[in-house]
Amino acid sequence: MLQLIANLTIDENTLASRAAGQLTSAITADVSLHCRRQPSLQTSAITADISLHCRRQPSLQTSAITADVSLHCRRQPSLQTSAITADVSHHCRRQPSLQTSAITADVSHHCRRQPSLQTSAFTADVSLHCRRQPSLQTSAITADVSLHCRRQPSQLRQWWR
């Protein structure tokens, strides 16, 4: 999900798109690091987010994506997000009806409503999955997301504007 957001293009501001890529790549790196440290932290949260958007927009047929995410999860406990992203892209090419922009648009919507807090959408999802699945120890990931926001305020201003 984060990698998909990193690839999001904003027509009206190319610079913002580049800044977003720099920010989210750093976040993705931290997520991968925590996954290596905590193999029990699989892709449940990612899968749940996809399912949520699927329920809101039944035209999104994400079962194939979910299956591939699970497959990579079993094969690579360290959670190689690049491989997962590749499969998501592959299915998007095969099934143009998969509107991945709907997922990123939801995050952007939250950020436009709360410009002072860039990670509110991410933090809310992480907290929700933590309550539902206590085995997901995501407090460290949340902390790292916040840390990157504090370190790169100029990029965030450009991206979330």
Write the pLDDT tens digit of every residue in 35-74: 444 444 444 444 444 444 444 444 434 444 444 444 444 4
Domain housing 89: 2-160
Residue 77 pLDDT = 42
Residue 1 pLDDT = 41
Looking at the 3D structure of the chain, how many domains does it have? Answer: 1
Residue 63 pLDDT = 45
Question: Is the separation of the CB atoms in 43 and 73 below 8 Å?
Answer: yes
How many CA atoms lie less than 13 Å away from 31 in the CB half-sphere? 23
Over residues 93-145, the pLDDT tens digits come to 444 443 344 344 434 444 444 433 333 444 444 444 444 444 433 444 444 44
Q: How many residues are recorded in the chain?
A: 161
Amino acid (1-letter code) at residue 119: T
